[in-house]
C-alpha cells in the first residue's frame, strides 16, 4: 500500500475520532462542532500542503522554538500502546506554546490567519489507528528526516 503524502490528510478525515464515541459525546457537548472543525482543519492543511511538514512529535527539540504545529489523532490511536488512554483527537501549538484549552473552531480561524499572514511551515503529526496508514506516515517522516 502506498498513499500520497498529501492524501494522508484526506485519509485522516475517514477515521473515527473520540468525538464519535458515547464517552466523547457525553464529555463534550460541542462534539459535533468540534469534529466538523477538525475536518475543516484537515481540508485547510490539504489546500496549503506545500507548507505542511510531517513530524513524529510536537516537541520543541523536534520542530524548533516558536513554531506552529497540529496533531490530529484517530479514535483510540495511542502514542504509547502501554498506556491505555486514547489521545485527544486534536491539539495545536501556536508560536511554540501548547494551547491545551483551545477548541478546534478557534484553532481553525487562527490557522486561516497563519496561512494568510505568515510564510512559515506548519508541523503536522497525524496519529492513525489504522496500522497501514500509521506505517505510511512513519515512512514519510523517516524519509523527511533523512533528507
Q: What is the pLDDT of residue 142?
A: 84
Starting at the edge strand found earlier in the chain, the sheet holding 122-127 runs: 52-54, 122-127, 69-73, 90-94, 97-98
**Within a domain: 1:** no
What is the pLDDT, as a whole number, of residue 6?
93
- 142: CB partners within 8 A, 6+ apart: none
Given this model, what pLDDT does residue 124 score? 96
Q: According to the model, what pLDDT value does residue 1 have? A: 45
pLDDT the model gives residue 9: 95
Residue 21 lies in a domain: yes
Q: Which residues span the domain enclosing 12? A: 7-146
Structural domains of the chain, count: 1
In a domain, 41, yes or no: yes
Res 3: pLDDT: 66
Taken in order 109, 71, 18, 88, the sign of the CA dihedral is negative
**What CATH number is given to the structural domain containing 54?**
3.40.1530
All residue ranges of the chain with pLDDT < 50 are 1
Amino acid at each position: 500500500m502506498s498513499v500520497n503524502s498529501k492524501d494522508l490528510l484526506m485519509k485522516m478525515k475517514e477515521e473515527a475520532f473520540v468525538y464519535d464515541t458515547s464517552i466523547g459525546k457525553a464529555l463534550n457537548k460541542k462534539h459535533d462542532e468540534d469534529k466538523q472543525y477538525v475536518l475543516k482543519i484537515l481540508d485547510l492543511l490539504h489546500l496549503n500542503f506545500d507548507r505542511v511538514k510531517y513530524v513524529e512529535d510536537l516537541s520543541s527539540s523536534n520542530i524548533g522554538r516558536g513554531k506552529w504545529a497540529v496533531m490530529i489523532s484517530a479514535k483510540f490511536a495511542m502514542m504509547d500502546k502501554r498506556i491505555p488512554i486514547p489521545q485527544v483527537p486534536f491539539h495545536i501549538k501556536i508560536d511554540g506554546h501548547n494551547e491545551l484549552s483551545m477548541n478546534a473552531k478557534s484553532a481553525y480561524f487562527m490557522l486561516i490567519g497563519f496561512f494568510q499572514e505568515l510564510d512559515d511551515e506548519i508541523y503536522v503529526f497525524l496519529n492513525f489507528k489504522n496500522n497501514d496508514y500509521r506505517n505510511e506516515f512513519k515512512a514519510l517522516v523517516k524519509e523527511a528526516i533523512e533528507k
